[in-house]
């Protein structure tokens, strides 16, 4: 068992900063669990300096070295055993079964990126050989591939302490692409963050990696996060959290003397549309399953369905209300989430255009175990007031009732960016479903048919992102193989002699990659037609 020292981890050293103290707290009992000191500018500067030094060495590590490093991190996480599960459960209240599954996902992500790196194809090597005697202008030798950006700042999320935590998908994909990482650990689970640092420390030692390749700053202040994004060493940001937090980091990054990209996953209501025949033939069943999806994880998934668009059906409404009312209340992760939920529900249910279908008394004590809530409004009111589209993070969904199918399309046209959008339909709904699907792909990163958005399969074909405000970069994904492309950029090499080229672009193809050579995919070697002389 690892002995927790209640410190931050900076480039191989364990540090107790002199800044303010904060504590993690059990969502179950409300009692304090562990005490940590927030990092300040001195600790940030030390982590940034070490990351910059490490980048020079880490960026030129071979694909095999980085692959082994990622696999070793996964092994070290697993070697923490039950201590990691129990610590995360104490700080999050998510339960041992949930944490066990999330650990498997986290280690699976690391190993998946390790395989991608080992194969080498992710660099997208492309070669156009020279034609020195081309008329009227000679053609130069041009070769292009993806290269790492530099040190990446990662912000851990509260709702997934492992999969989006200190060594979650953002950290794993940034390391896979050849970048050092500085993590700002989430203050809700600092002891969990520390255990991950012990795993990283062991993996760095085993693989002889530069110490500055990973640092983790504990802290509960917003100022620390802002200063991290501002630091000139940091070249990109990975963030999962609220729209307010993500937008603040986007603005800070854009205002730097040298702006940097922020890859932020933010709010999403993940609308579900129920077509006419699907509603009449299986509306009650859809409503029951919808209730389970809304209540899953106490609604604290970024893919929780927060809006359901229908043409009105009393049995459907009853099924949703009954399913949510009968589902046991779950725990919210922290006081901030609970206070925001209670405040938002009180505000929206005070409106005359919103009805609470399964209403119960809501008190300030419900900030830890809120009721599962279904609201209802009309499409007419929904269309004229954009605030009804705002996410309420927790087990809350809103049914939007349309007068007809045409009004349902108008509602679809009104949505801003979302992570997902869903259509439930039958073969008889083909015309309506086609019209909806054409619209849904305009504002959603993942379009679902006869399913539910909760649950994100980690695989190469997954897209976890969407147009703003769901994420800050609609063309990227934070899940799946392409997540590492966020932290790399294309570099073209013109006229370089073979000896100076990266291995992926050399004539004899030492990595045995499938490369695009003069427009054709091939693993063949290239004759040295151009020497650069």
How far apart (Å, rounded) are the C-alpha atoms in residues 237 and 234?
8
Q: Length of the chain, please?
A: 533
Question: Do 478 and 170 contact (CB within 8 A), yes or no?
Answer: yes
Annotated catalytic, 302? Answer: yes
Strand (E) or helix (H) holding 217: strand 214-217
Catalytic residue among 102, 227, 265, 391: 265
Q: Is 7 left (phi over 0), alpha (psi -120 to 50) or beta?
A: beta
Nearest to 199 by CA among 97, 308, 71: 71
How far apart (Å, rounded) are the C-alpha atoms in residues 105 and 88?
15
How far apart (Å, rounded) are the C-alpha atoms in residues 85 and 532?
57
Q: Which positions ≥6 away from 119 have C-beta within 8 Å?
A: none
Nearest to 304 by CA among 290, 284, 286: 290
Angle at 529 between CA 526 and CA 533, to 5 degrees: 130
3-state secondary structure of 491: strand
3-state secondary structure of 414: helix
The HSE-up count of residue 403 (CA atoms within 13 Å, CB side) is 7
How far apart (Å, rounded) are the C-alpha atoms in residues 415 and 341?
22
Q: What is the 3-state secondary structure (H, E, C) of 103-153?
A: HHHHHHHHHHHHHHHHHCHHHCCEEECCECCCCCCCECCEEEEEEECCCEE
Annotated catalytic, 265? Answer: yes
3-state secondary structure of 257: coil
Question: Do 180 and 213 contact (CB within 8 A), yes or no?
Answer: yes
Catalytic residue among 302, 391, 401, 402: 302
Residues with a catalytic annotation lie at: 265, 302
């Amino acid at each position: 068992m690892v002995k927790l020292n209640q410190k931050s981890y900076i480039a191989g050293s364990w540090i107790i900063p002199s800044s303010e103290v904060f504590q993690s707290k059990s969502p179950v009992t409300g009692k304090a669990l562990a005490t940590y000191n927030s990092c300040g500018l001195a600790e940030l500067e030390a982590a940034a300096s070490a990351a910059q030094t490490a980048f020079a060495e880490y960026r030129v590590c071979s694909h095999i070295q980085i692959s082994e490093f990622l696999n070793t991190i996964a092994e070290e996480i697993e070697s923490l055993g039950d201590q990691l599960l129990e610590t995360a459960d104490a700080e999050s209240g998510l339960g041992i079964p949930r944490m066990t599954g999330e650990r498997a996902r986290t280690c699976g992500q690391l190993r998946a990126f390790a395989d991608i790196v080992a194969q080498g194809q992710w660099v997208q090597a492309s070669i156009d050989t020279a034609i020195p005697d081309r008329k009227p202008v000679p053609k130069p030798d041009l070769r292009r591939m993806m290269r790492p950006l530099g040190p990446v700042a990662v912000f851990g999320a509260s709702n997934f302490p492992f999969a989006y935590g200190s060594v979650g998908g953002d950290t794993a994909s940034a390391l896979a692409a050849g970048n050092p990482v500085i993590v700002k650990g989430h203050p809700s689970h600092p002891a969990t963050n520390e255990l991950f640092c012990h795993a990283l420390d062991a993996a760095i030692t085993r693989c002889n990696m530069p110490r500055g390749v990973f640092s983790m700053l504990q802290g509960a202040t917003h100022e620390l996060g802002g200063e991290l994004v501002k630091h000139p060493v940091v070249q990109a940001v990975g963030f999962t959290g609220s729209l307010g937090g993500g937008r603040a980091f986007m603005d800070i990054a854009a205002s730097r003397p040298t702006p940097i990209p922020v890859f932020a996953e933010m709010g999403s209501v993940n609308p579900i549309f129920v077509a006419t025949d699907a509603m009449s033939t299986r509306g009650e069943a859809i409503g029951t399953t919808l209730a389970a999806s809304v209540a899953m994880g106490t609604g604290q998934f970024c893919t929780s369905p927060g809006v359901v668009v229908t043409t009105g059906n009393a049995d459907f409404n009853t099924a949703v209300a009954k399913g949510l009312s009968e589902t046991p209340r779950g725990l919210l992760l922290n006081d901030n989430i609970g206070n925001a939920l209670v405040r938002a529900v009180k505000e929206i249910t005070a409106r005359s255009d919103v009805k609470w279908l399964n209403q119960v008394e809501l008190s300030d004590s419900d900030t830890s175990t809120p009721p599962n809530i279904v609201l209802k409004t009309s499409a007419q009111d929904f269309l004229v007031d954009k605030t009804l589209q705002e996410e309420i993070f927790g087990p809350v969904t809103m049914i939007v009732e349309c007068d007809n199918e045409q009004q349902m399309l108008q509602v679809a046209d009104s949505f801003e960016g979302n992570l997902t959008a869903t259509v439930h339909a039958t073969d008889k709904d083909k015309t309506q479903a086609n019209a909806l699907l054409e619209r849904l792909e305009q504002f959603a990163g993942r379009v679902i048919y006869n399913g539910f958005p909760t649950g994100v399969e980690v695989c190469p074909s997954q897209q976890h992102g969407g147009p703003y405000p769901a994420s800050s970069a609609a063309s990227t994904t934070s899940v799946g193989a392409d997540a590492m492309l966020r932290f790399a950029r294309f570099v073209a090499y013109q006229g370089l002699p073979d000896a100076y080229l990266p291995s992926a672009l050399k004539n004899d193809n030492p990595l045995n990659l499938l490369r695009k050579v003069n427009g054709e995919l091939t693993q063949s070697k290239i004759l040295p037609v151009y020497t650069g002389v």
